[in-house]
């Protein structure tokens, strides 16, 4: 790690998607502020030369450094955006620059991790970095990726995919979700959540899809509600009825319900259920506990109650959720 933080290199080339380039640095820049210390990332934009690079939006960007200069430094993370061409029938096709592919292939082996943004997955695939790996890309080029690189297991559904040290992101705006996941991987989910709040975003789970995204916890304006939320988190297996919570807050049940609806936009019962679902999701992703143990450990009591809560909040079952999102990154 450099004195300024983990070195993140974003690759620049002609006709690159603008948000692919600017999105991740915006996320990374907030880490230092949220951590309140001299830590975080040093982000540089690297291109073949120091000449301005024209993006697909027509905006020109000045590189911070060249590929040759980056090769002399210790790179923590390499972020590879993408580019597309559109024909007269509005058909979208990902394109790759052989020189960029060659440089990415050469530098990737010396970095801790590599992440592609949107159709940048095609650059990684052309460099052979996705062979034998599961990966995603923008839905419009997923079929192209699968047809041109049969050694890649293409999954067009997730917002992003992690397979070992290689991460791939989906649509252009998903670069923010991917970047938040990288922050969570480096500095923990509490830091990523604080960054997400600054961006007024949802915080995605590793391997999560948009339809399974975790809603950003609303920020309350009163200390009383924050203390109640902390109480719920620390006592997730307790009954946590409206009467129980009202007693903790020293207010009437009617007043408690009014406070929750005003501050958090939901009833106390709905908030408790969402908190329990979140704990259950973490266990389903990271442990092999039986559904009975998950239900008991999250305060649902029975498997049937757990299943009903998942269907109500996520439109899926705990078993289906685990099968799709079980975290095997370290396996």
Does residue 93 come out as left (phi exceeding 0), alpha (psi in the -120 to 50 range) or beta?
beta
Provide the token pair at 59.
Answer: 């905006």
Q: Which residues on adjacent β-strands are paired with residue 167?
A: 115, 162
Residues acting as catalytic residues: 118
The C-alpha atoms of residue 77 and residue 79 are separated, in whole angstroms, by 6
β-pairing verdict for 134-135 and 77-80: unpaired
The C-alpha atoms of residue 41 and residue 30 are separated, in whole angstroms, by 9
Q: Which residue's structure tokens are 């990726």?
A: 145
The C-alpha atoms of residue 274 and residue 215 are separated, in whole angstroms, by 9
β-pairing verdict for 6-11 and 41-47: parallel
């Amino acid at each position: 790690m450099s004195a300024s933080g983990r070195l993140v290199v974003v690759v620049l080339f002609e006709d690159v998607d603008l948000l692919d380039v600017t999105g991740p640095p915006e996320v990374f820049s907030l880490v230092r502020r949220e951590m309140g210390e001299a830590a975080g990332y040093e982000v540089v934009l690297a291109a073949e030369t120091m000449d301005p690079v024209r993006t697909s939006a027509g905006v020109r960007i000045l590189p911070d450094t060249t590929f040759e200069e980056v090769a002399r430094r210790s790179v923590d993370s390499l972020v590879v955006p993408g580019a597309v061409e559109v024909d007269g029938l509005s058909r979208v096709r990902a394109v790759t620059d052989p020189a960029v592919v060659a440089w990415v292939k050469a530098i990737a082996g010396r970095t801790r991790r590599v992440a592609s943004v949107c159709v940048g997955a095609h650059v990684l695939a052309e460099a052979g970095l996705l062979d034998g790996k599961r990966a995603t890309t923008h839905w419009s080029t997923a079929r192209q990726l699968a047809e041109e690189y049969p050694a890649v297991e293409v999954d067009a559904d997730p917002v992003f995919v992690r397979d070992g040290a290689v991460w791939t992101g989906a649509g252009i705006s998903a670069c923010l979700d991917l970047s938040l996941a990288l922050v969570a991987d480096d500095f923990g989910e509490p830091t990523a959540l604080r960054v997400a709040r600054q961006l007024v975003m949802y915080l995605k789970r590793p391997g999560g899809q948009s339809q399974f995204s975790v809603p950003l916890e609303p920020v309350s304006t009163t200390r009383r509600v924050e203390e109640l939320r902390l109480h719920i988190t620390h006592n997730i297996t307790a009954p946590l009825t409206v009467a129980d919570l009202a007693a903790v807050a020293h207010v009437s049940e009617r007043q408690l319900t009014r406070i929750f609806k005003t501050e958090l936009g939901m009833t106390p019962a709905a908030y408790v259920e969402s908190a329990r679902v979140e704990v259950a999701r973490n266990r389903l992703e990271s442990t092999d506990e039986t559904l009975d143990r998950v239900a008991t450990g999250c305060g649902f009591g029975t498997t049937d109650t757990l299943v009903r809560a998942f269907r109500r909040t996520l439109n899926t079952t705990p078993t289906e959720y685990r099968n799709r999102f079980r975290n095997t990154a370290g396996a």
